[in-house]
Amino acid sequence: MPKDVWDPLADHYDEWHSYMAGADLVGAVSAAVADAVPPGLVVELGCGTGIYTRGIARRCERVLALDASAAMVEKARAELAHLEHVEIRQSDAYATGLPDGFADGVVAVNLLHIVPDPEGVLREMRRLVRPGGAVVIADATVTGLSFARVLESVGRTLRRPEGLKTWRKGQHDISQTTLERLVSEAGFEDMVGREIDGRLMNSSFVRAVAPVAAPSIET
Ligand SMILES: C[S@@+](CC[C@H](N)C(=O)[O-])C[C@H]1O[C@@H](n2cnc3c(N)ncnc32)[C@H](O)[C@@H]1O
């Protein structure tokens, strides 16, 4: 499990996430993710306080939401305690310990751009999703922002609430192009992707399917 830099952020995370990403983008990404998940068992990696888990839970029979941070897990459990089909566990996104092909869908929102090894997380997503199941990935990005919006974003960063860190070591911007390349290199197919534009930031967004092995033909 990585050393936890996220624990101290849990109490203010929802407020700070909306402050930096914009409430409009949070709403648009939440709706896009919920629309894209398959209906069965969905695993969410790096669920944080559960902002996006709520929407996923409206669409799925069962959600297993995982996060490395004990404080985030505690917060998410409190927020989503009323949803009996949602379970929150502390777990590392690189090595969940769940069986191969465990899930109909695997989701990661705002995780790939903050982990040092996004390819490693994608390998675990590929392992977890059953053949024919889907991965749904979204990551806030500054790529594609107009100059005016970059200026507004810089202004908000300068005026940010005390304690809010906007950039941490190992973080990298994941543009739509980068996300599509990573997902394709991880072995997924039938990719549908689009950048979701917000007032302050954009989000990369992809849904893709784990291939079903072609049946062998006996001769
Ligand atoms: C930027 S937050 C995103 C939270 C949530 N998905 C959202 O978009 O609001 C990143 C989350 O990933 C978690 N995280 C970071 N590294 C992780 C890892 N290796 N395994 C599981 N969770 C991790 C952090 O604890 C944090 O809650």
Per-residue pLDDT in tens (0 to 9) along the chain, 219 residues = 454 789 988 999 998 888 888 899 999 999 999 999 999 999 999 999 999 999 999 999 999 999 999 999 999 999 999 999 999 999 999 999 999 999 999 999 999 999 999 999 999 999 999 999 999 999 999 888 888 888 887 787 777 777 766 666 667 899 999 999 999 999 999 999 999 999 888 999 999 999 998 767 766
- Residues with Cβ within 8 Å of residue 106, at least 6 apart in sequence: 42, 43, 44, 45, 125, 128, 129, 133, 134, 135, 136
Which ipTM value was assigned to this complex?
A: 0.99
Nearest CA to ligand 1 atom 25: 69
Tell me whether residue 159 is exposed, middle or buried, using C-beta atoms within 10 angstroms of its C-beta: 0 to 12, 13 to 18, 19 or more.
exposed
Cα distances (angstroms) measured from residue 156 to each of 29, 85, 146, 165, 174: 21, 38, 15, 12, 21
- The closest of 54, 15, 2, 37 to 138, measured between CA atoms, is 37
Tokens of 141: 């990005």
CA of 48 to the centre of ligand 1 (A): 5
Report the pocket of ligand 1 as residue ranges, CB < 6 Å: 2, 6, 17, 45-48, 51-52, 67-69, 72, 92-94, 109-111, 114-115
Using an 8 Å Cβ cutoff, are 164 and 188 in contact? Answer: no
Reading the block at residue 165, the tokens are 């860190």
- Nearest-atom number in ligand 1 for the CA of 4 is 25
Report the separation in Å between the CA atom of 146 and the middle of ligand 1, taken as the mean of its atom positions. 28
Q: Which residues pair with 196 in a beta bridge?
A: 203
Q: What is the pLDDT of residue 42?
A: 98
> How far is ligand 1, taken at its centre, from the CA of residue 67, in Å?
6
Distance 110 CA to ligand 1 centre (A): 7
| Phi/psi at 132 (5° precision) | 90, -10
CA 88 to ligand 1 center in whole angstroms: 13
Q: Which amino acid is at 20?
A: M
Residue 208 contacts residue 183 (beta carbons within 8 Å): yes
